[in-house]
Amino acid sequence: MDLKNKRIIALGERDGVQGSAIARCAESAGAEVVLEVTHCFV
């Protein structure tokens, strides 16, 4: 996936995939992470 020059918001879940992991994957694909959050959706 080509995310160059795209801005993303990484929303993660505490018991699933965390926001920091999503952000790192997006950054490696060329995106700019503007917000990174991990929440507990219980």
Residue 16 lies in a domain: yes
pLDDT tens profile 1-42: 789 999 999 999 999 999 999 999 999 999 999 999 999 877
Which domain, by its residues, includes 35? 7-39
Q: Which helix (H) or strand (E) holds 36?
A: strand 32-39
**Per the domain annotation, does 1 fall within a domain?**
no
Number of domains in the chain: 1
Q: Are 12 and 35 in contact (CB under 8 A)?
A: no
pLDDT score at 2: 85
As a whole number of angstroms, the distance between CA 42 and CA 23 comes to 22
Residue 25 lies in a domain: yes
Instruction: Calculate the CA 40 to chain-centre distance.
Output: 15
Q: What is the pLDDT of residue 7?
A: 97
Listed residue (32, 30, 29) closest to 9, CA to CA: 32
Residue 2 belongs to some domain of the structure: no
Cα–Cα dist 34/11, whole Å: 11
Hunting for tokens 């219980």 — which residue is that? 42
